[in-house]
């Protein structure tokens, strides 16, 4: 119904006379975040001081507290207390994966803000939700790319965030645009909630299975067919990107248990053939070793492409399937023990990174049930994985619909002045 409604208004007259253009600094304030004091680290124990990282942005419109968050201890909190966020603030990532955007939800009111994000506050004349949608639209992302500087370590300076240009109509029309897009987002959020529940079920099945007996242990090196790094940064440059070809996996695609495929940069098949050691296939497990460390995702069977190339910040594990089921290894690295083992090699100075990632991954020990027992366990959880993947395809379809509408709504191409949702 919503889709038909939107299609029916495509031919309406454009009323750009009601639209204005301004820079963010003209109608809001932009503030940077704060790096943790030297020698201080985040903690896993729940308290009232959650710490928002870049990896928490970009999944849904509202950023809400969940089990993935880490926290600041009471003493450290006192030294960074001026760098908290409030409900309704907009966060934008400015280092690492640049251009992720989210609105602070009620469960993160007074949370701490990473130095890798800026916050947009005290917004006037523009609805925060409208600004959010504009920033994630192709227009907003183009503005963000224009303001990004640096080749080796790209960043979006605070001044350039302030200078991002926004096109916006009167408040009444902003509200109508937000209502159209929010109705799609609510369906996406509902499906995400279902998938979060399915992931919790998978984690429970893994915990029960992995602790059922005192399984013998092996190292990742023992059960790996291959562990390899992404290419050197000089081997994949923006100048080598093409419109279609072999997709490049970045941290943006590793935000969940299975590869997410919103959009890609591509290189030619010929270029990819020169990076054979960095090519990954379905059932390979991809890790991030610099920036948003701790990301682990598996390329599922039935993925959009037969193979991919990982970026310089990733490395991957190809399991020996005669010894281990890849899904079992995936869930191990999402467990508390697996994350602890992986991050025990992390260096928190400067850009977070895992030291000698391929070498140290091979050292990690993992309990290994017999292959027959693994297969029996896999038969139990396979329907959950299938449900998750089908649900993700629906999320993807809705996201494509929203992203198709975004530039039309944000440019005034669609006139929504007489539409009520």
What confidence tens digit (pLDDT) does each residue in 199-247 have? Answer: 999 999 999 999 999 999 999 999 999 999 999 877 888 889 999 999 9
CA-angle at 191, arms to 333 and 128, nearest 5°: 100
- Identify whether 404 is part of a domain: no
Q: For the domain that residue 231 is a member of, what is the CATH number?
A: 3.90.220.20
Contacts of 386 (CB under 8 A, 6+ apart): none
Higher pLDDT: 364 or 262? It is: 364
Higher pLDDT: 1 or 227? It is: 227
Residues 82 and 143 in one domain: yes
Model confidence band, residue 16 (pLDDT cutoffs 50, 70, 90) = low
Higher pLDDT: 201 or 403? It is: 201
- Identify whether 293 is part of a domain: yes
Residues 151 and 225 in one domain: no
End-to-end Cα, the chain, rounded Å:
10
Contacts of 150 (CB under 8 A, 6+ apart): none
Mean pLDDT, residues 126-145 taken together: 95
> In angstroms, rounded to a whole number, what is the distance separating the alpha carbons of residues 198 and 195?
5
Residues 246 and 150 in one domain: no
Give the dihedral sign, CA 119/124/129/130.
Answer: negative
Model confidence band, residue 417 (pLDDT cutoffs 50, 70, 90) = low
> In angstroms, rounded to a whole number, what is the distance separating the alpha carbons of residues 23 and 297?
37
Q: Which helix (H) or strand (E) holds 178?
A: helix 171-210
> In angstroms, rounded to a whole number, what is the distance separating the alpha carbons of residues 374 and 275?
33
- Identify whether 3 is part of a domain: no
Last residue of one domain, picked from the residues 168, 193, 224: 168
- Identify whether 397 is part of a domain: no
Total count of domains within the chain? 2
DSSP conformation class of 342: H
Indicate yes or no: pTM above 0.95.
no
What mean pLDDT, rounded, does the chain reach? 90
In this prediction, residue 1 carries a pLDDT of: 42
Contacts of 259 (CB under 8 A, 6+ apart): 249, 253, 286, 297, 298, 299, 300, 303
DSSP string covering 397-410: HHHHHHHHHHHHHH
User: Of the ranges 230-234, 316-320, 335-339, 345-349, which is most confident?
Assistant: 316-320
- Identify whether 192 is part of a domain: no
Residue 107 near residue 65, CB atoms below 8 Å: yes
In this prediction, residue 418 carries a pLDDT of: 57
Mean pLDDT, residues 85-100 taken together: 94
Helices and strands (H and E) in the chain: how many: 13, 22
- Identify whether 180 is part of a domain: no
Per-residue pLDDT at 152 exceeds 80: no
In this prediction, residue 17 carries a pLDDT of: 55
What confidence tens digit (pLDDT) does each residue in 261-303 have? Answer: 878 999 999 999 999 999 999 999 999 999 888 899 999 999 9
In this prediction, residue 286 carries a pLDDT of: 98
> In angstroms, rounded to a whole number, what is the distance separating the alpha carbons of residues 291 and 141?
20
Per-residue pLDDT at 415 exceeds 80: no
What confidence tens digit (pLDDT) does each residue in 373-398 have? Answer: 999 999 999 999 999 999 999 999 99
Which residues span the domain enclosing 154?
20-168
Residue 389 structure tokens: 């993947």
3-state secondary structure of 96: coil
DSSP string covering 128-158: HHHHHHHHHSHHHHHHHHHH-B-SSS-B--H
Per-residue pLDDT at 134 exceeds 70: yes
Backbone angles phi, psi at 142, to 5 degrees: -65, -40
């Amino acid at each position: 119904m919503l889709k038909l409604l939107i299609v029916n208004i495509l031919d309406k007259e454009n009323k750009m006379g009601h639209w204005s253009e301004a820079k963010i600094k003209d109608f809001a304030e932009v503030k940077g975040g704060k790096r943790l004091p030297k020698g201080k680290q985040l903690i896993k124990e729940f308290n009232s001081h959650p710490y928002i990282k870049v990896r928490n942005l970009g999944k849904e419109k509202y950023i809400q507290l969940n089990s993935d968050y880490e926290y600041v201890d009471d003493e450290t909190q006192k030294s960074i207390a001026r760098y908290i966020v409030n409900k309704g603030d907009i966060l934008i990532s400015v280092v690492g994966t640049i251009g992720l955007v989210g609105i602070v939800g009620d469960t993160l009111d007074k949370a701490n803000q990473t130095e890798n994000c800026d916050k947009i506050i005290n917004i006037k004349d523009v609805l925060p939700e409208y600004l959010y949608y504009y920033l994630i639209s192709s227009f907003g992302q183009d503005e963000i790319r224009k303001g990004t500087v640096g080749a080796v370590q790209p960043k979006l300076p605070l001044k350039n965030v302030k200078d991002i240009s926004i096109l916006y109509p009167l408040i009444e029309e902003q509200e109508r645009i937000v209502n159209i897009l929010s109705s799609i987002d609510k369906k996406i959020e509902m499906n995400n909630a279902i998938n979060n529940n399915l992931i919790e079920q998978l984690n429970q099945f893994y915990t029960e299975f992995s602790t059922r007996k005192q399984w013998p242990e092996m190292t990742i090196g023992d059960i790996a067919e291959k562990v390899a790094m992404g290419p050197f940064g000089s081997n994949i440059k923006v100048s080598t990107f093409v419109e279609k070809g072999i997709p490049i996996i970045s941290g943006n695609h590793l935000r969940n248990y299975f590869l997410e495929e919103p959009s890609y940069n591509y290189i030619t098949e010929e270029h990819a053939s020169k990076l054979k050691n960095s090519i990954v296939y379905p059932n390979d497990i991809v890790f991030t070793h610099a920036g948003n460390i701790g990301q682990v995702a598996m390329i599922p069977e039935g993925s959009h492409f037969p193979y991919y190339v990982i970026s310089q910040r990733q490395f991957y594990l190809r399991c020996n399937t005669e010894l281990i089921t890849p899904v079992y290894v995936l869930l191990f690295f999402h467990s508390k023990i697996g994350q602890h083992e992986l991050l025990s090699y992390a260096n928190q100075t400067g850009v977070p990174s895992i030291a000698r990632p391929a070498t140290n991954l091979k050292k990690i020990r993992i309990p290994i049930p017999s292959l027959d027992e693994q297969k029996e366990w896999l038969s139990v959880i396979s329907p959950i994985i299938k449900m998750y993947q089908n649900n993700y395809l629906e999320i993807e379809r809705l996201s494509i619909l929203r992203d198709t509408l975004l530039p039309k709504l944000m440019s005034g191409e669609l006139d929504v002045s007489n539409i009520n949702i």
